[in-house]
């Protein structure tokens, strides 16, 4: 199991997963500036993510490019799974309770949730 990521790490990781491969300079300019993060902070965060196994890097024309080894959707699924295990002791009940009161769930997200419930019911019947 990989080491957990912090909030700032997750934001940078998500950006790189969706826009990578990218250099530290590109992430600092396109993402970090808007967040008020200095290039040195972006470098530190990206290196921490690399050491934790969330990012890879390779040298291209003398500059390191960082990338997520997995697609953004898979990455977020793994991060959410880690959160459920660490913070909710493996129970999705608190998450379900949160969703039941969420007011900003889009129609698309609602349809995705309905698909998940249908898939889980189907798997339960088979098992």
Helices (H) then strands (E): counts for the chain: 7, 2
pLDDT at 1: 59
Domain range annotation of the chain: 1-90, 91-126
**CATH topology for 1-90?**
Arc Repressor Mutant, subunit A (1.10.10)
Please give the share of the chain, as a percent, with pLDDT higher than 90: 43
pLDDT in tens, the chain (127 residues): 577 788 889 899 999 999 989 999 999 999 999 999 999 999 999 999 999 999 999 999 999 999 999 888 887 787 778 778 888 888 888 878 888 888 888 888 888 888 888 888 888 888 6
**Measured distance CA(14)–CA(5) in Å, rounded:** 11
The pTM of the full predicted model, rounded to 2 decimals, is: 0.69
């Amino acid at each position: 199991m990989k080491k957990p990521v912090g909030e700032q790490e997750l934001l940078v990781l998500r950006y790189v997963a969706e826009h990578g491969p990218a250099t530290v300079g590109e992430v600092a300019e396109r993402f970090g500036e808007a967040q008020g993060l200095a290039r040195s902070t972006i470098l530190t965060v990206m290196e921490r993510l690399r050491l934790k196994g969330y990012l890879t890097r390779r040298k291209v024309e003398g500059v390191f490019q960082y990338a997520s080894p997995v697609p953004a959707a898979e990455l977020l699924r793994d991060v959410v799974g880690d959160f459920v295990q660490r913070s909710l002791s493996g129970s999705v009940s608190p998450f379900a309770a949160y969703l039941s009161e969420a007011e900003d769930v889009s129609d698309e997200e609602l349809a995705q949730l309905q698909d998940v419930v249908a898939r889980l019911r189907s798997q339960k019947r088979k098992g």
